[in-house]
Structure formats: C-alpha cells, structure tokens
C-alpha cells in the first residue's frame, strides 16, 4: 500500500492495538482512536494489531469489518500481524470463565432487567438514565463455590469482593480510582443469550495478543477498572493505558455509530489525508512540518515524529 518507513524495532516490546466493533464503517471518532493508537505504537517502535470485536452479533453489520479494514489501509494505517475476530474465539472465553468459576468467582443469574429495576426501586435506588443498574445481588449465593455452568442457565456474573478500589494511572488523565461495587456492582461476563461480554473478551484477547499499551477513546475509561480487576483474577499483566479525547458533535455528544455519525471518506488519497488531518487535530497535531502536497506516508511520518503523550 504505502511505503511507510517506520519499521518496528524488535527491542521495543511495545504491542498496541485497535479493536473496533464492526457496527458500521469508521467515523471521525473511531479514526481518532485508530490514528492515536497507531501513532503511539510507531513512535515507540512497536507493533500495532487489529482485532475485530464482533462479539455482540445482533449489533454487528455484515461487511463492516471489511469496510473498516479498507478504510484503515486507505489511510495508511497498516496492521502488523494477522487480524483476529472475536466471534471465532468463544472457546477461549469459555476457558477463561471456567478459570474464574473454579476460583469461585462466578454465579449464574436469572434476573431480567425489569426484575432488577423493580428490586432497586423497592430499595429506593434510582439509576440515572445514562448509567447501568448496579445489580442488587439477588441471585448471588451466600457462599460462592464453583458451579456447573451449563449452556442456557441465565447470565454469569462476577462476584466482586467487598471493598474493591481499583487504582491505575492513565498517561493523559493521571491517577484514576474506581470503587467497583459502587460504580458497577457484580457485572455480567456472559449474557443470558450465551454471548460473552466485551469486558471478558477484551481482557482475554489483550492478554492473548500480548498487548502492552492500550490507547483508546475516553468513553471507555469507566470500563478500565473492571478490566484491571479481571486481569488480576486471571493472572494477566496489566497494560498501560492512554485514553484519548473524544470527538464531540455540535450538541456536545460523543460521535458514535448510535448517533449516526457519518463514515469518513477515503475513496481517494486526498480524501483520506483530509480525514487524517482532521483526526490529527483532535490529537493536538496541527501545522505539521510537511509540504502542502505531502503524501499520506509523509504526513504520517511527520505525525509520528510530533506525537507526544
């Protein structure tokens, strides 16, 4: 595609990734995450991997993975190893959940959303509209033991220890702290329709791909403490985190496929370069020292040199 003279250095050990959910083509917000993670990897002589997070099959759009890959390549963002698709990795997630089960950390839950809402209402707890309900532990057994987890017996939840405060450092936002019981409660690792959740799959796959640095949008910041807790339970090393500023629309809302953000235009190199420049601006990359008629490769090289987080 493009001849990008930014070789990865074997000594670096840096392994980063971009992990889009194929619910639609890349939009301005997802390009920022792709570009930021690519630049961070290249700056540090590392590798940049691509993982398609197509676990939530009902939300995935057929062909969106291919379109995302085409868009990335048009922007000169080439991945360094084979792409993995989460939909092909159910057995791996099953094995990881069995490890948690054997450690007496899982229990099955048959509550519907409505039942949870009713229980919380009886306890006088109201959940703000944009937040997930904190599970009132209705199905949690007094004493946790490994369970026989069968195919269709409801959701599987992770039993959190009582006082669990996760602290980590974000490279942009500094020290972060989350009390998992207060912020999220016993969260679901496998839904009652049998699908493993993002929280489990992302942790298992980041470890399987040896990811050392996670660079992604700030909208995912509130998930990080859950993921660090799972890493501890599964005996994985925690990567370093950098959460990038979000691209907001004119109403101050995060751009997302749900808000029907429009796809970036990458039909020709000029369009792709325009999109890269816009994404770069969100990342503080303005007025790079490149010629007015610079190619994508030249712009990416200048952006890599200028990258500093």
Least distance in angstroms from the C-beta of 38 to ligand GLU: 13
Of these, 16, 27, 46, 53, which contacts ligand GLU (CB under 6 A)? 53
Of 21 and 209, which CB lies nearer to ligand GLU in the complex structure?
Answer: 21
Of 84 and 296, which CB lies nearer to ligand GLU in the complex structure?
Answer: 84
Residue 146 near residue 105 (C-beta atoms within 8 A): no
Of these, 35, 180, 202, 264, which contacts ligand GLU (CB under 6 A)? 202
Least distance in angstroms from the C-beta of 120 to ligand GLU: 27
Least distance in angstroms from the C-beta of 59 to ligand GLU: 10
Least distance in angstroms from the C-beta of 163 to ligand GLU: 26
Residue 71 near residue 39 (C-beta atoms within 8 A): no
Of 139 and 208, which CB lies nearer to ligand GLU in the complex structure?
Answer: 208
Of 106 and 203, which CB lies nearer to ligand GLU in the complex structure?
Answer: 203
Of these, 216, 226, 229, 243, which contacts ligand GLU (CB under 6 A)? 216
Residues 17-46 that bind ligand GLU (CB under 6 A): 19-21
Query: Which part of the chain contacts ligand GLU (CB under 6 A), choosing from 16-24, 110-118, 147-155, 237-245?
Result: 16-24
Query: Which part of the chain contacts ligand GLU (CB under 6 A), choosing from 15-23, 136-144, 154-162, 269-277?
Result: 15-23
Q: What is the DSSP string of 26-85?
A: -BHHHHHHHHHHHHHHHHTT-EEEEEE---SGGG--TTHHHHHHHHHHHTT---SS--EE
3-state secondary structure the chain: CCCCCCCCCCCCCCEEEECCCCCCCCEHHHHHHHHHHHHHHHHCCCEEEEEECCCCHHHCCCCHHHHHHHHHHHCCCCCCCCCEEHHHCHHHHHHHHHHHHHCCCEEEECCCHHHHHHHHHHCCCCCCCCCCCCCCCCCCCCCCCCCCCCCCCCEEEECCCCCCEEEEEECCCEEEEEEHHHHCCCCEEECCCCCECHHHHHHHHHHHCCCCEEEEEHHHHHHHHHHHHHHHHHCCCCCEEEEECCCECCCCCECCCCCCCCECCCCCHHHHHHHHHHHHHHCCCCCCCCCCCCCHHHHHHHHHHHCCC
Of 181 and 222, which CB lies nearer to ligand GLU in the complex structure?
Answer: 222
Query: Which part of the chain contacts ligand GLU (CB under 6 A), choosing from 13-21, 71-79, 268-276, 281-289?
Result: 13-21
Least distance in angstroms from the C-beta of 202 to ligand GLU: 5
Place of tokens 């503080």: 284
Is residue 242 close enough to count as binding ligand GLU by CB under 6 A? no
Of these, 35, 41, 77, 220, which contacts ligand GLU (CB under 6 A)? 220
Of 109 and 203, which CB lies nearer to ligand GLU in the complex structure?
Answer: 203
Least distance in angstroms from the C-beta of 80 to ligand GLU: 17
Least distance in angstroms from the C-beta of 21 to ligand GLU: 4
Of 111 and 202, which CB lies nearer to ligand GLU in the complex structure?
Answer: 202
Interface residues toward ligand GLU, by CB under 6 A? 19-21, 53, 202, 216, 220
């Amino acid at each position: 595609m493009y001849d990008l003279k930014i070789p990865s250095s074997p000594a670096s050990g840096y392994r980063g990734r971009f992990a889009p959910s194929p619910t639609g083509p890349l939009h301005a917000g997802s390009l920022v995450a792709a570009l930021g993670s690519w630049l961070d990897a290249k700056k540090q002589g590392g590798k940049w991997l691509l993982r398609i997070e197509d676990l939530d099959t009902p939300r995935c759009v057929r062909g969106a993975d291919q379109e995302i890959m085409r868009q990335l390549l048009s922007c000169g963002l080439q991945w360094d190893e084979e792409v993995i698709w989460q939909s092909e990795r159910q057995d791996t997630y099953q094995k990881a959940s069995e490890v948690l089960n054997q450690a007496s950390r899982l229990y099955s839950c048959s509550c519907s959303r409505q039942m949870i809402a009713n229980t919380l209402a009886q306890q006088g707890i109201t959940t703000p509209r944009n937040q997930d309900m904190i599970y009132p532990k209705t199905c949690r057994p007094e004493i946790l033991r490994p369970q026989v987890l069968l195919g269709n017996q409801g959701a599987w939840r992770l039993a959190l220890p009582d006082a669990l405060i996760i602290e980590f450092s974000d490279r942009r936002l500094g020290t972060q702290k989350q009390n998992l019981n207060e912020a999220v409660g016993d969260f679901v690792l496998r839904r009652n329709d049998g699908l493993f959740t993002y929280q489990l799959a992302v942790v298992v796959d980041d470890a399987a791909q040896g990811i050392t640095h996670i660079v992604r949008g700030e909208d995912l910041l509130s998930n990080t403490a859950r993921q660090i807790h799972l890493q501890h339970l599964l005996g994985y090393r925690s990567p370093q985190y950098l959460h990038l500023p979000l691209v907001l629309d004119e109403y101050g809302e995060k751009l997302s496929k749900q808000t029907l953000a429009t796809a970036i235009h990458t039909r020709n190199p000029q369009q792709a370069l325009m999109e890269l420049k816009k994404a770069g601006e969100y990342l503080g990359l303005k007025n790079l020292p490149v010629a007015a008629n610079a190619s994508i490769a030249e712009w990416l090289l200048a952006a890599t040199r200028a990258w500093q987080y």
